Amino acid sequence: MAESLLALRDLRKHYGGLAVTDGVTLDVLPGEIHAIIGPNGAGKTTLIHEITGVVAPDSGQVVFAGRDVTRLSLPRRARAGLARSFQITSVVAGFSALENVALAAQARAGSSFRFFRPAASERALNEAAMAALSEVGLADRAAVPAGALSHGEKRALEIAIALATQPRLLLLDEPLAGAGPEETERLIALLTRLKAAYTILLVEHDMQAVFALANRISVLVYGRVIATGTVAEIRANAEVRAAYLGEDDA
Ligand SMILES: Nc1ncnc2c1ncn2[C@@H]1O[C@H](COP(=O)(O)OP(=O)(O)OP(=O)(O)O)[C@@H](O)[C@H]1O
């Protein structure tokens, strides 16, 4: 087996008496889209927060590219190449799509752009931002204020912002949330294109999208991974079906 780009080792997190992450061990392999699915309240958001460094686990390890990053701060993890697609709330509505992406590129590049003179630095940042916008199909919307983009375009912009940080792992937290059928189709096409170039950890409720995109799926229920496998394996897994049927019955 290829060495994992991201390895979670027996991660645990309690809130009071509630085990929200209950011994999660999971490997994201280079080049795959690894989806995490699970019923509401399964602990997906908390797990993403433990990976990015927003929440510290009680015990266990987060190993990224062979390095134990469990105790690293969020910015240091981001600099190591862990990028989360930002929620639209962090996008500045009055700034153009290009400016929003350039801001993210600047935050990532930090000191390296200081070697350039200001004008050259701005040009380099804008070029990096344009490249990220092109990757998500928003090049012709670069000058449009972020607040005037359609919902689907905003979701694509969030992804461009993450790409501008040149991630080694892209964490996508419900990229299809709130998208209509047409937008969903376009976003799935975008994620299919990105799949060729990036390793992606995807948290998504839309099962059709997950089945279309994922190489492997891990199913989280009450803070535990009850199954990891290919799409076919997960669809055929009796325990997974029971967990979801249980949710539907509720
Ligand atoms: N800071 C916190 N303090 C106490 N309990 C919390 C905290 N954060 C999350 N929880 C609880 O942990 C459980 C898992 O929450 P989490 O948001 O991680 O689940 P989720 O799988 O992302 O859910 P959803 O799919 O609804 O977003 C829930 O029962 C939630 O109430």
pLDDT of residue 85: 66
**What's the N-to-C CA distance of the chain in angstroms?**
39
pLDDT of residue 248: 47
Nearest CA to ligand 1 atom 5: 15
Cβ < 6 A, ligand 1 pocket: 15, 18, 20, 38, 40-46
Q: How far, in Å, is the centroid of ligand 1 from the Cα of 2? A: 32
Give the ipTM. 0.92
Q: How far, in Å, is the centroid of ligand 1 from the Cα of 51? A: 15
pLDDT of residue 116: 52
Q: Which of 109, 81, 107 is nearest to 168 (CA)?
A: 81
- Ligand 1: which of 15, 51, 204, 247 to mutate, most ligand atoms within 8 Å of CB? 15
Give the integer Cα–Cα distance in Å for 103 and 114: 14
* Residue 162 burial class via C-beta count within 10 angstroms: exposed 0-12, middle 13-18, buried 19 and up: buried
Domains and CATH numbers, the chain: 1-81+168-250 (3.40.50.300), 88-166 (no CATH)
Helical spans, DSSP H, in the chain: 44-52, 74-79, 97-109, 118-135, 151-163, 181-195, 207-213, 231-236, 238-249
Query: Which backbone phi and psi does 20 adopt, to 5 degrees?
Result: -80, -35
Q: Is residue 56 helix, strand or coil?
A: coil
Nearest CA to ligand 1 atom 8: 46
* 250 residues of the chain, pLDDT tens digit each: 568 999 999 999 999 999 999 999 999 999 999 999 999 999 999 999 999 999 999 999 999 999 999 999 888 888 888 877 654 456 788 999 999 999 888 876 655 555 555 556 778 889 999 999 999 999 999 999 999 999 999 999 999 998 988 889 999 989 998 889 999 999 999 999 999 999 999 999 899 999 999 999 999 999 999 999 999 999 999 988 887 755 544 3
Nearest CA to ligand 1 atom 25: 40
Contact (CB, 8 A) for 202 and 149: no
- Ligand 1: which of 13, 46, 201, 205 to mutate, most ligand atoms within 8 Å of CB? 46
pLDDT of residue 250: 36
Question: Which amino acid is it at 174?
Answer: E
Q: Is residue 67 helix, strand or coil?
A: strand
Give the integer Cα–Cα distance in Å for 243 and 65: 32
- Ligand 1: which of 20, 49, 205 to mutate, most ligand atoms within 8 Å of CB? 20
Q: How far, in Å, is the centroid of ligand 1 from the Cα of 46? A: 6
pTM comes to: 0.89
Give the integer Cα–Cα distance in Å for 214 and 200: 9
Pull the structure tokens for residue 229. 């496998």
Atom of ligand 1 nearest to the CA of 55: 1
Nearest CA to ligand 1 atom 3: 15
